[in-house]
A and B are shown apart, each in its own frame.
Chain A
């Protein structure tokens, strides 16, 4: 599996626009490509199965297969290589390495490891600071202090070379003083080699074979400086905060990472303005050597956030060449599509979404595909790397094809559920790479679970238009305003401020909002114009999370916004849909039972054809029930509207369901489905201004029950009752009105 893989340059496309497909194959020969419209991506034989329909497309045909490599690892590239060719020099910076001793790593220089040419300030394979010099003709020397730096400690490092005498001086001094001079070291040697040649000037990497960056550094770098002579030690000390006039002519570059944080630009504050750019999205707005905990917001004290944290497996864009384009025809119906690639026994499906042309509608119902949530989970390594994974799922986990592939292919990046190898959280994810969790016939978490709903729409012949989270983010309430009904996917967990505003605006205008999932509107995320296709999130403070941001890491670099739970920012999920995340468990799902409130005439339309004592949803493809996996409940203190009706409830969850940790202040024993009354799933309904309404299933498992018994069941009936009423323009009167 995965011997042929691809991705597209975009996920959402409208008629008339072009989408580009990039493919890599480990096999020789040719592959076939064709277009499919997708109705259902869940291949479970207990359900209707994967259902696709071929669609004639201009690109359909055979293509030559070729392998395209992916180079992960973040670094900075300075564009002006010629200005960094000199005979004598000084390189200095503050570094805080997070992984040492497994290989050599680059701090800065123009070192070309393939040619053995140029110079580089590095950490050697024991983690000691060293200077590499090479003449490109076989002459090469490494001068090392021999003292491993202290991980997770700021250390001032310098390398100075005087070509006139051949004197190379390398030193390292931790910022903190330790007894016995731990972590400090220096060396001076006279060498015969004079560095010559080299490649581009890079920070946190060196030039490798074929112009690819290599020698990736794990850790932070702050205040890097380059001079064109061997400075005195006292002169090096004057460069920490600025370039003094006395050294202006000697300084080749002095980069201040606290500037232009939201961008790809790395600014040189010397007179030369030799700016650079980050590659593969390292983490900016990082606590630098000056940080003292007095300010957590980098915008208010940027000088304290002057570091960049580089990681060997950072990835923004695979950068593959395009194999073929597709111009979406004007008459292509909005929906979920996939390019199917086949080569021998290998198959891949590259998913994308066709939305209506801007300003037009093809139907009265908008289905919001939660692509921000897909991104957050993309290429996750939870099963291999979470220490608590099996106790979260309360079962032995299985290394499936996805896990086995990702474990041996770290170059395809990680998810927001992962930590980097050095233990720091993964803040950035990107769609500009193959994402194995967004394929047809893969697991039913997120994407294929959401296709249970498109499958149901098709079965019930309910017309729908598709939009992604990025569409909603960019176009706001105007995108949704004309739709009579908006339906969410099963797990719309990640939301930007703009997306929330769009949904709230839609509801206020009389829209009908059907929340067909759970654990929605939970975390705040941000997109960036500087890095299209990427998403940032920082898990500040509380929440159900696999990793977390330390103090000082709370504010996002893309937008400067505070990261974390929407609940902690005055917009709990209960304000959006009446219910919010209360518990999760993965042994089995449960059925709902109607409540006394369900007999209120306001709720009559929901239960048309459903008996009062009927068990609702004791079947389904997701846990065997309609209420389960992640579940939501009302909380009037958090923002459930006061007139909300709880019309059905599921509250028979097992010990495997764990109450969300942000709801209890102190460790205690009443935390699971057997012992905690707040572990329950509330189906709710409430009216909105201007004739609108909200209906929430509050369950991830809901969609998996829709197809049971050939779509003839009470979960499907309730869904149809609600959708058809929500599509009816007759306004919902306010309660008591």
Chain B
């Protein structure tokens, strides 16, 4: 499998600027890796009130959902950027160094 290079912050910046695409081939490949796995294995975006937050579905069916409600996003694109950063951190150990 392709190794994720934490130095490729250009891909993170590309995603931040265009969360809904279209995306470059390299970013598309990275996103395929980030999107693998069920919701029980990774942070997801959840609707929260009139906005969105990140949330973690429990390992077992019926477990309560853990809402990371300290950050609520008004726009879906911002929530997607937050989950991108979370998946990057899950894969590389640290968030992408992008302002």
Contacts and interface: CB of A to CB of B under 8 A. Distances in A.
B61 A421 contact: yes
A177 interface: no
Interface stretch (A386-394, A510-518, A675-683, A699-707): A386-394
Interface string A375-395: 000000001111111110011
Contacts of A395: 35
Interface string B16-59: 00000110000010011001111110001111000010010100
Which of B44, B55, B64 has most A Cβ within 10 Å?
B44
B87 to A, nearest CB: 9
Contacts of B36: 387-388, 390-391
A399 B32 contact: no
A407 B38 contact: no
B76 interface: yes
Contacts of A386: 38
A558 to B, nearest CB: 27
Contact of A408 (B31, B64, B83): B64
Contacts of B31: 394
Given A384-B40, A398-B44, A398-B47, A404 B35 contact: no
B65 interface: yes
Contacts of B44: 383, 396-399
B62 interface: yes
Contacts of A383: 39, 44
A450 to B, nearest CB: 24
B33 to A, nearest CB: 9
A399 B47 contact: yes
B38 A389 contact: yes
B80 interface: yes
A399 B38 contact: no
Interface residues of A, number: 27
A389 B40 CA distance: 12
B32 A404 contact: no
Contacts of B21: 587
A386 B39 CA distance: 8
B51 to A, nearest CB: 11
A400 B52 CA distance: 9
Given A410-B61, A655-B28, A398 B39 contact: no
Contacts of B76: 398
B60 to A, nearest CB: 8
Given A396-B35, A399-B39, A399-B45, A404 B80 contact: no
Which of B21, B28, B32, B39 has most A Cβ within 10 Å?
B39
Q: Size class of B's contact patch? A: 20 to 34
A401 interface: yes
Contacts of A404: 46-47, 65
A469 B99 CA distance: 54
Contacts of A407: 57, 61-62, 65
A413 B80 CA distance: 30
B62 A408 contact: yes
Given A398-B44, A398-B47, A398-B52, A384 B62 contact: no
A290 to B, nearest CB: 32
Nearest to A588: B21
Given A387-B36, A410-B62, A401 B80 contact: no
A421 B61 CA distance: 8
A398 B83 CA distance: 11
B28 A399 contact: no
Interface string A653-666: 01100000000000
Nearest to B62: A410
Given A391-B32, A407-B57, A398 B46 contact: yes
A383 B47 CA distance: 13
B80 A396 contact: yes
A-B CB proximity, top 5 nearest: A390-B35, A399-B46, A384-B39, A387-B38, A398-B45
Interface of A: 313, 383-391, 394-401, 403-404, 407-408, 410, 421, 587, 654-655
16 contacts: A385-B38, A385-B61, A388-B36, A389-B38, A391-B35, A391-B36, A396-B35, A396-B80, A398-B44, A398-B45, A399-B55, A401-B47, A407-B61, A408-B64, A408-B65, A655-B28
Given A399-B39, A421-B61, 9 more contacts: A384-B38, A384-B57, A385-B61, A387-B37, A387-B38, A396-B35, A396-B83, A399-B65, A410-B61
